[in-house]
Amino acid sequence: MKILSVNAGSSSLKFTMIELPEEKVMISGTFEKIGLDDSFYTIKYNGNKDKKEAKLESHTDAVKILLEELINYKVIKSYDEIDGVGHRIVHGGDKYTESVIIDESVLKTVEELTPLAPLHNPANLVGIRSFMEVLPDTKMVAVFDTAFHQTMPKEEYLYALPYDWYKNYGVRRYGFHGTSHRYIATKMNELLGEDRKIISCHIGNGASICAIKDGKSIATSMGFTPIAGVIMGTRCGDIDVGLLPYVMSQTKEKFDEVMNDLNKKSGVLGLTGVSSDMRDVEEGYNNKDERCITALNMYANKVAEYISMYNTKLEGADAIVFTAGVGENSDLMRSLIIKRLSFMGIKLDEEKNSQRGIDGEISSDDSTIKVYVIPTDEELMIAKDTYNLINE
């Protein structure tokens, strides 16, 4: 079966077509700057990457071109060869604990959840509606970033705030990156067997840590929004909210301006003033730039703190897994993090750790907790959910 896995943002649309059950990626691409004058798209096919300019006034334009390109690249002969479309949805609130077939009631609920994810859910909905317009008879599935974390116990997802805020307004920890953490849980299940205790570190531009027990999320570092937890590319992670009125009084910024600073100008970018990209900051670190050194140390401290905390919650983890852009590619960051845990007997095999493109165990034979690098694959997870649901 040919399944499209789709991730629609406010001005972008990413897709991957995957053949299932073979799990073979057939073609993928990204449409960018939708609605702007300089919109374009890139297609990856057979190891080649083609960049093309196109006037993309709306997501529907992007979807129409996407489908035409599938035929041009001879991936399909006609649209009815597309068996299903899986859509990434950022927020499922506490309504969705797993992926679902999209119908009018799902669309309505996702729309109602917009106040919880005002930037993401509307963009995801635009993506779904565009596909529905062009492929009205194709089955579509919604895969939620929050769903995997719905197994967290109440004591984990409540904040110590007035209880009415939770009851009346849904103020609680939701957690994100659920599809990626679920992928790691599934992979580790295959590698180590069932009923294991895993600490999954999804550290990319956005970053979150998740404690997984028996394949289920029991704690995660992101919260009501994706700003919480560890230090990220441009997001601050955990901070003292008491500083907000002070900053506003000093900078004369409005609340949404300060929120923009916390989301887009903080984290590694804010600390270094250099970049949000770990590669640039590592270059600064190697050149002894003091702010880059401090930033990387703070980043590693924070991830190590969460690993220690989750090791306690899990009463002893079986494995720590690194994934996403930084986790998969930065041997320096993995090494800085694990060094902070060496007092617990957690140790890397530095030779394995320094291998490029590693996929597997990187801990030393005598490490008390195994450490792995597992490349995440959210697109495959979305496609598999779609495949499973449309075959039910």
Binding-residue pattern over the window 162 to 201 for ligand AMP, x denoting contact by CB under 6 A: ----------------------------------------
Radius of gyration of the chain (CA): 21
Interface with ligand AMP, residue 279, by CB under 6 A: yes
Separation of alpha carbons 110 and 93, rounded Å: 9
**Interface region with ligand AMP, contact rule CB under 6 A, candidates 10-18, 133-141, 144-152, 277-285:** 277-285
**Interface region with ligand AMP, contact rule CB under 6 A, candidates 128-136, 158-166, 318-326, 359-367:** 318-326
Q: Which tokens belong to 188?
A: 């580790």
Interface with ligand AMP, residue 29, by CB under 6 A: no
349 is catalytic: no
Catalytic residue (one of 37, 38, 145, 349)? 145
Separation of alpha carbons 368 and 281, rounded Å: 31
| Binds ligand AMP (CB under 6 A): choice among 93, 175, 233, 284 | 233
CB-based contacts of 236, cutoff 8 Å, min separation 6: 227, 262, 266, 267, 270
User: DSSP class of residue 344?
Assistant: G
Nearer to ligand AMP, 7 or 330 (CB): 330
| Binds ligand AMP (CB under 6 A): choice among 5, 7, 221, 330 | 330
Enumerate the β-bridge partners of residue 300: none
Q: Which tokens belong to 270?
A: 């804010």
- State the burial class of residue 101 (Cβ atoms within 10 Å of its Cβ: 0-12, 13-18, 19+): middle
Considering the complex, what minimum distance in angstroms separates the CB of residue 332 from ligand AMP? 7
**Interface region with ligand AMP, contact rule CB under 6 A, candidates 44-52, 89-97, 150-158, 272-280:** 272-280
Interface with ligand AMP, residue 229, by CB under 6 A: no
Separation of alpha carbons 43 and 50, rounded Å: 5
Q: How far is CA 26 from CA 16, 114, 135, 214, 385, in A?
A: 8, 33, 19, 33, 18
How close are the terminal C-alpha atoms of the chain, in Å?
14
| Binds ligand AMP (CB under 6 A): choice among 204, 229, 267, 284 | 204
**Interface region with ligand AMP, contact rule CB under 6 A, candidates 45-53, 162-170, 185-193, 326-334:** 326-334
Separation of alpha carbons 303 and 326, rounded Å: 12
Considering the complex, what minimum distance in angstroms separates the CB of residue 147 from ligand AMP? 20
Applying CB under 6 A, the residues found at the interface with ligand AMP are 204-206, 233, 277-279, 282, 324-326, 329-330
Active site residues: 145
